[in-house]
Copies of this chain bind each other. A is one copy, B any other.
Amino acid sequence: MNHYPSSILNLIKSFSKLPGVGGKTAERLAIHLLRAPLKEAEQLSRSIMELKEKTRLCSKCFSLSDSELCKICGDLSRDASLLCVVEHPADMVAIEKSGAFKGMYHILQGALSPMDNIGPDHLRIKELIERVVGGSVKEIVIATGTNVEGEATASYLAERLARYPARVSRIASGVPIGGDLKYIDQVTLKAAMEKRHEF
């Protein structure tokens, strides 16, 4: 490996730190970029910095955004009376891809996990309650994962939300138990969304 000059070795080292990228792949990627047009390399380099500089959380739903409000929260054509609660931004992306949901989202930024010291105050639950208190939300679909932490979070939220007039539903358990929401196929996700049921 150290038969390359350091300008190449440094990039191989940086690429190797990415998940699923081993030494051989990192070498191949570096050599590719060396031969690629300068513009392509510049674009990749700039995109990485812009990702870190511009990406923030939407101030309303806490999904990933590059402005104060994310695309969905700023979209007036969506049904603001329907609120889907998920753990992570990638879960929201998975549901969006299924096309089964046209309401708004609320991204908790995780699930309750006493083992990892993650309690209600570490998640965006206070902000969720605030959105529901307003009274314009008619239904809250809880789409946290179907693993232990996700189910516990769903039960906790159902309890907290019971005192408000909004209907609280849970995404249907067509989702395989223990599965990570963002890796589930879109058809299953769509079915699970359509079959959502009352707590």
Interface residues of A (CB under 8 A from B): 3-8, 10-11, 13-15, 17-21, 25, 28-34, 38, 40-55, 64-67, 70-72, 90, 92-93, 96-97
Contacts and interface: CB of A to CB of B under 8 A. Distances in A.
B10 A33 contact: no
A3 B66 CA distance: 12
Copy total for this chain: 2
Contact of A90 (B29, B31, B64): B31
Contact of A5 (B10, B19, B64): B64
Given A93-B4, A96-B3, A51 B64 contact: no
Nearest to A70: B5
Instruction: Describe A's contact surface by its main secondary structure.
Output: helix
B51 A30 contact: yes
A33 B50 CA distance: 11
A47 B41 CA distance: 10
Interface-centre pick from A3, A41, A42, A55 (highest chain B CB count, 10 A): A3
Contacts of A30: 51
A187 to B, nearest CB: 17
A87 B97 CA distance: 47
Given A19-B32, A20-B28, A49-B42, A7 B96 contact: no
A4 B107 CA distance: 14
Given A25-B20, A38-B52, A14 B47 contact: yes
7 contacts: A5-B55, A14-B43, A15-B44, A31-B90, A34-B55, A41-B51, A44-B48
Interface-centre pick from A51, A65, A71, A92 (highest chain B CB count, 10 A): A51
B4 A51 contact: no
A96 B1 CA distance: 9
